Amino acid sequence: MGIALEEARLARDADEVPVGAVIVLEGRVIARGHNQTRGGMDPTAHAEMVAIAAAARTVQANRLVGATVYTTVEPCFMCAGALLHARVSRVVWGVRDPKFGGCASLGNVLSDPRLNHRASITEGVGADEARALLQSFFREKRAGKPAD
């Protein structure tokens, strides 16, 4: 989760919502990413999506069977769907997202028994730092100051 938090800080420094993700397969980091929606003018450039695309290029396959994804914030519905399509085995996140979270807060995409793949989930890892990054970012936005 430490690497995902580093990625979240990179997002913050680029004036993006501070969310970071890292993908681990067979004990090694194969991809990392952070939010790039604003700078890239791409609403799909969430940290998880960036990391999934990089991981697929790394393994030269569209499936990431056996991979664990660490992300600082609960994945949204879009990202959760992509994680299932990629067939990741496990998703670990820091804090829930009560407004967009698709894995526990507003839905259970990763564990829905109607789907043909499910991923195990662990939440709360690195939660304090992930929450602090988000709160600081949005506090600064509301105050009209650049995020620190």
Which residues are known to be catalytic?
Answer: 48
How far, in Å, CA of 119 to CA of 117, rounded?
7
How far, in Å, CA of 65 to CA of 146, rounded?
40
How far, in Å, CA of 121 to CA of 123, rounded?
7
Sheet holding 20-25, edge to edge: 28-34, 20-25, 68-73, 90-95, 120-123
How far, in Å, CA of 120 to CA of 8, rounded?
23
